[in-house]
């Protein structure tokens, strides 16, 4: 996959670039895969982790202040984070991210999200959701900081992986990010 990072979210973009330049992500796993939703990685504890090891809580020891503004269309790179109950300011994980797979989206769903979250999608955003899909239920809650510009089919291939009860793929899917 080829990803373009967004300059409109400078803290997230700079952090991701720093970690990539350090080789942080190499050999980490896509440790959480949910077909029709997303693929997640970036937990440093996933490197060489035994299949029974619970994953998803590791990180570099810091969080990033939220920079929430961009919708979750298919192929968007978004920062993972702890739930609102322990993270009311929606700060992002310092290293964990997910790539949106999502599904088909229609005007009825977008209207419902707008009412529930009290914001409006632009006509262009509505068209993009209807054309490529995504997960609009995440909008306004997570920071999107990049977009897959080549290799959307790889997301679908990874999302097809059989998983266990914790959504971890049964066969390790390692990443290399450069």
**Helices 123-132 and 107-117: angle between axes, nearest 10 degrees:** 130
CATH class label, 2-101+135-159: mainly beta
* DSSP per-residue letters across 60-116: SS-EE-----S--BTTEEEE----TTT-TT-PEESS-EEEE--B---HHHHHHHHHH
- Per residue of the chain (178 residues), what is the pLDDT tens digit? 999 999 999 999 999 999 999 999 999 999 999 999 999 999 999 999 999 899 999 999 999 999 999 999 999 999 999 999 999 999 999 999 999 999 999 999 999 999 999 999 999 999 999 999 999 999 999 999 999 999 999 999 999 999 999 999 999 999 999 9
Q: What is the pLDDT of residue 163?
A: 97
Report the C-alpha gap between 97 and 34 in whole angstroms.
14
Q: How buried is residue 41: exposed, middle or buried, by Cβ count under 10 Å (0-12/13-18/19+)? A: buried
> What count of other Cβ atoms lies within 10 Å of the Cβ of residue 3?
19
Answer yes or no: pTM beyond 0.85: yes
């Amino acid at each position: 996959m080829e990803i373009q990072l967004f300059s409109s979210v400078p803290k997230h973009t700079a952090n991701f670039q720093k970690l990539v330049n350090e080789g942080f992500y190499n050999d980490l796993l896509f440790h959480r895969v949910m077909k029709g939703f997303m693929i997640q990685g970036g937990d440093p504890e996933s490197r060489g982790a035994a299949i029974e090891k619970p994953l998803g809580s590791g990180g570099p020891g810091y969080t990033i202040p939220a920079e929430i503004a961009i919708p979750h269309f298919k192929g968007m790179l978004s920062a993972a984070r702890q739930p609102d109950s322990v993270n009311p300011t929606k700060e992002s994980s310092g290293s964990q991210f997910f790539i949106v797979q999502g599904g088909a989206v229609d005007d009825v769903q977008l209207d419902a999200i707008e009412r529930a979250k009290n914001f409006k999608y632009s006509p262009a955003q509505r068209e993009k959701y209807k054309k490529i899909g995504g997960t609009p239920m995440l909008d306004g809650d997570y920071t999107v900081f990049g977009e897959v510009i080549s290799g959307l089919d790889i997301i679908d291939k990874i999302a097809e992986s059989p998983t266990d009860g914790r959504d971890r793929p049964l066969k390790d899917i390692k990443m290399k990010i450069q």
